[in-house]
Chain A
Amino acid sequence: MTSKALRQPASLRIASGAFLALWCLIAAFPIAWITVMSFKSPVDAFDSNPLNVIFGPATRAGGSGWSILEIVLGLAVIYIAARLTVRRVPTLVASYSPGGYVALGWVVTAALVGVAFVLAFFGLLPIVTDLLTPLVGPLGRDIIGATTEHYQTVWVDRGFSNNFANSLIVTAGVVTISLSVGTLAGYGLARSGSTLAFWILIVALIFRALPHSVLVAGYLPVFINSAEWLSPILGENAPTLYGKPAAVIAVLVAINQPFTIWMLRSFFSNIPADLDEAARVDGCSHFKAFRLVIMPVMWPGVITTGLFSFLLAYNDFLVTSLLLDASNQTMVPAIAGMFNRETTTTDQVVAVAAAVSITAPLFLLVMVFQRQIVSGLTAGAVKG
């Protein structure tokens, strides 16, 4: 209840609403605009008249476009997919994941939802609309020029699916390892009031501030020559760590570790210590208490921290571009390589389509996990 004294005059409310709308426009515009661009022919995509970019006359003249029917059906599919994801998926994951593997369940579900959406949208929808178009007359005529050919170029011809698979391997590895190592450490640090624990956290804070290029400068010579110095230990088949996704996973986990333990520690501190003391009185060891009593109530914190680990690994450019070679590149460095040879405008639109492809999973992520992301941000801040 706002009291009478705090009620705002109408002019202020309107101004505040208008500015908020302006901010939303600024926040969403670049992303929305490159999404629109990615569906147009190069002529339309880089037209200086915004209406031409939206309606794409050149693209329509090229013979590809969307009719009202297709737009309506497409929006319906997106809406239903979003609705189902937000409403049903959390309960499904909770009920079907085997106990203790909820995080894994989420990863699998996210991948499944993504694949199912791509299949429904790009596979099933065109067939349905082809069948319906002759039946609806004027509604079936193209009104907006749009084409998905750039996405085909990116994913099929340019081998972006390989990059996607690499990104998936790296991010999945980083999230699982950094959570399993980090929860243990976070719990230990939260429950120990010793000065040593404090100093570990301080050192972690210093590590958090290091530029990643500094660390990579340390890895590169070691990784490139690793076959040489590992051979006394591993013998003939000592690997060259340079270019190995496993090495990148280890590096990203370590880089992420300071942040992970700070965040998890603050979540663990919020769980009353009485809980594990009670378990200890009942005869549990520390590990057993951790596994059986603390972890079940920690899932919100673990999911939130996992999200941020995911973001770090998925968004990384510096480490992956320097430590992986071209054959197993992840998505973000791959797109940087793509625009280096961007000579024609067609190449540019292809790069735009690749950029949108990278952003789409993040978009879904915010949609599903908005609350966890917000709570993660604020948990970090409140605890400092």
Chain B
Amino acid sequence: MKPRVFAAFVGPSILMMLLFIAFPLLSVFWNSFNVTQPVYETVEVESCTAGFLEQTCTTEMKTRPILDEAGEIVRQTEFVGLQTYRNVLELDRLGEALTSGSWAAIQNIDFWKALRFTIMFTLVTLPLVVGFGLGIAMLINNASKLIRGPVIFVSLLPFIITPVIGALSINWLFRGDGILTAFLEWWLARDLALFAQAWTIELLMMVYRVWHVAPFAAIIFYAGLQTVNQDSIESAVIDGASRWQRLRLIIIPHLMPLIIFVAMIHLMDSYRVFEEVVGFRAEGYVISLQWLTYDFLKPDQAGNRSISRASASAMLTMIGIAILLVPLLKRTWRDHKGTR
């Protein structure tokens, strides 16, 4: 294919990605070092109230935004260097918390709280998703051909559901005396309040995520199980291998590329955990990195959006993505070299 034809085919897509992915990245990078805010002036205001014989006058200094001729607030953009990053990271508070050795104090700083939860969420759900996915795939593979279709249909439902809605539906089952909380209370014979402390909410979020992603893993592993060489399994049986040995020595190595693929996708996606915080209305207890950026971007009560802080927290989030991507890129590069 000639370069010219190639460009014609690929051009529109590249243009969209440059315009709407690469350019915003630059904009975020720039914004994280600059702050745009209204210009304030301090004026001396004398206010007098009527009193007996003479007025009582007080003068005070007031800060107010400067307005231009059109009555719009004048804004100016200022280079602040790493100041915004310092505001987001709150290093001095972190330092204090570290010297006092108090974990709870660290957990009061938004960024570190979000980072802690995001990493823990990612690492805890990863093995569960792979494990449950593999289990479900083998169960489906074991079922008779007649029921496989309906079973796959039901399995796809948690995967396909809108994440916010999925989290909400789990939320409704547990919130207050929801049906599953009532069941757990009856079963454990004790009173439960699942939304009153952070760790139970985190647990529910992880349960939700595993429920949501395990079907995806299961479908992929199920497809992989169809290509396991039956002859080698059969000869393993004849050699006296137990079921566990067959699973460990034949099936899992065969599925290994798929397991790595699922793990990679899951790492990328769960690092971006966000919808759970919205769906569980957990922002008072648990927040994630992406939610932090979202919160900065939302207008506050005065209608201002902290674009600069959001950009800084977005840049910090991307450091994590870069770390996650290195092994994936290495693998793709190796494959590419291998195919040529």
Contact = CB atoms under 8 A, between A and B. Distances in A.
Interface of A: 3, 5-6, 8, 13, 16-17, 19-20, 23-24, 26-28, 30-31, 33-34, 37, 46, 48-50, 53, 181-182, 184-185, 187-189, 191-194, 196-198, 200, 202-222, 250-251, 253-255, 257-258, 261, 286-287, 290, 311, 314-315, 317-318, 322, 332, 335-336, 339, 348, 351-352, 355, 358-359, 362-363, 365-367, 370, 373-374, 377-378, 381-382, 384
A48 to B, nearest CB: 4
Contact of A219 (B24, B135, B296): B24
Contact of A46 (B31, B176, B274): B176
A348 B154 CA distance: 26
Contacts of A3: 230, 234
A286 B157 contact: no
A362 B160 contact: yes
Interface string B12-23: 111011011101
Contact of B237 (A6, A23, A194): A6
Interface string B70-92: 00000000000000000000000
Contacts of A378: 219-220, 223
A217 B293 contact: yes
B328 A217 contact: no
Given A336-B278, A377-B219, A378-B223, A317 B163 contact: yes
25 contacts: A6-B234, A19-B139, A24-B155, A26-B211, A27-B215, A28-B157, A30-B158, A34-B169, A50-B179, A182-B13, A204-B17, A213-B274, A213-B290, A214-B317, A216-B294, A220-B310, A254-B20, A254-B21, A315-B162, A322-B297, A339-B168, A363-B157, A366-B160, A373-B160, A377-B219
B165 interface: yes
A27 B155 CA distance: 6
A217 B297 contact: yes
A258 B268 CA distance: 14
Contacts of B268: 208-209
Contacts of B155: 23-24, 27
Contacts of A194: 3, 6
B69 interface: no
A272 B329 CA distance: 27
Interface in B288-302: 289-290, 293-294, 296-298
B186 to A, nearest CB: 9
Contacts of A46: 176-178
Contacts of B149: 370
B182 interface: yes
Does more than half of chain A's interface fall in helix, strand or loop, or is it mixed?
A: helix
B195 to A, nearest CB: 14
A275 to B, nearest CB: 14
9 shortest interchain CB distances as A-B pairs: A218-B24, A188-B9, A254-B20, A185-B13, A48-B182, A213-B293, A378-B223, A214-B314, A218-B27
A374 B294 contact: no
Nearest to A31: B157
Contact of B169 (A31, A53, A197, A214): A31
B111 interface: no
Interface string B195-235: 00000000000000001000110011001100000100110
A53 to B, nearest CB: 7
B238 A367 contact: no
Contact of B14 (A13, A185, A255, A359): A185
Contact of A214 (B3, B19, B20, B28): B28
Contact of A220 (B13, B157, B307): B307
A359 B162 contact: yes
B335 interface: yes
A217 B310 contact: yes
B17 A322 contact: no
Interface in B135-193: 135-136, 138-140, 142-143, 149, 151-158, 160-166, 168-170, 172-173, 176-179, 182-183
A202 B334 CA distance: 12
Given A217-B311, A254-B17, A255-B20, 8 more contacts: A3-B234, A23-B136, A33-B179, A181-B13, A218-B311, A374-B223, A377-B216, A377-B219
B324 to A, nearest CB: 7
Of the listed residues A191, A210, A367, the one surrounded by the most CB atoms of chain B closer than 10 A to its CB is A210
Contacts of A20: 136, 139-140, 142-143, 151
A13 B138 CA distance: 12
A348 B6 CA distance: 54
Contacts of B179: 33, 48, 50, 53
A200 B14 contact: yes
Interface string B293-330: 11011100000010100110011011001001100110
Nearest to A354: B165
Contacts of B154: 24, 27-28
B272 interface: yes
Nearest to A286: B5
B223 to A, nearest CB: 4
A355 B165 contact: yes
Contacts of B281: 339
B98 to A, nearest CB: 27
B157 A250 contact: no
Nearest to B257: A384
Contact of B332 (A34, A205, A335): A205
A8 B143 CA distance: 12
Nearest to A189: B10
A216 B297 contact: yes
A188 B12 CA distance: 11
Of the listed residues B169, B257, B333, the one surrounded by the most CB atoms of chain A closer than 10 A to its CB is B169
B293 A211 contact: yes
Contacts of A363: 157
Contacts of A28: 154, 157
Contacts of A30: 158, 166, 169-170, 173, 211
A382 B227 CA distance: 12
